[in-house]
Amino acid sequence: MSILQMRSTIVIIIIATLITSCSVTKKSSQRLNDDIALENKLLFLTIKVNKGIERPEFDIIDQKVVDGKLKRPMPETLRRPDHFVCEFKGSDDQILARIAVENPLTKVVEAPNENGSFKKAQIDLDSSSFVIRLQYSAKMEKLVISYDTGEVLKELTLKK
């Protein structure tokens, strides 16, 4: 084999390698873009909570999916003892996301007292609402709301 034939063979091998590697990269980037398209959506849920006889009652009053990426996620746990845990689950009951929410039925306010200093007071509300924002996944089917102790309060179905 002459030097000219070896060079031609090497050039053909390099070109073939470049073509096949570019097609694999293109397919990989398409899959990656599909995943990003799912992750570049935000879910905003507005949930109304009413003081029930034995425990709070919950209803979804608004659900929106919009384009965007969450800069700071909501916390998964809180140090306050009186909070709710919201778990987003798929069809197989796998937990896809978990968010902790302060109890919106109890508000702590500061008010001036007679001597001019401020004092904290807790106000118990009969009804309130809160908004949850998180990165959306098409696999999300239900929202399970529970106390921080694990006692389930309500299971809500998400709209598709």
pLDDT at position 51:
93
Alpha carbons 49 and 60: distance in angstroms, whole number = 9
Least Cα distance to 105 among 45, 46, 51, 47 occurs for 51
- The one-letter amino acid code at 4 reads L
Alpha carbons 43 and 33: distance in angstroms, whole number = 19
- Give how far the C-alpha of residue 16 lies from the chain's centroid of Cα atoms, to the nearest Å: 44
pLDDT at position 46:
96
The fraction of the chain above a pLDDT of 70, given in percent, is: 75
pLDDT at position 111:
83
Domain ranges of the chain: 1-39, 40-157
Other CB atoms within 10 A of residue 99 CB? 20
User: Tell me: the pLDDT tens digits for 76-91?
Assistant: 777 777 789 999 999 8
Q: Using the structure block, give the residue that is written with the tokens 């709209």.
A: 159
pLDDT at position 29:
34
DSSP 82: S
User: Tell me: the pLDDT tens digits for 34-61?
Assistant: 443 345 899 999 999 999 899 999 999 9
User: Tell me: the pLDDT tens digits for 129-151?
Assistant: 999 999 999 999 999 999 988 89
The fraction of the chain above a pLDDT of 90, given in percent, is: 45
- More confident of the two residues 8 and 126: 126
Alpha carbons 26 and 50: distance in angstroms, whole number = 52
Q: Does domain 40-157 have CATH number 2.30.110?
A: no
pLDDT at position 82:
79
pLDDT at position 38:
47
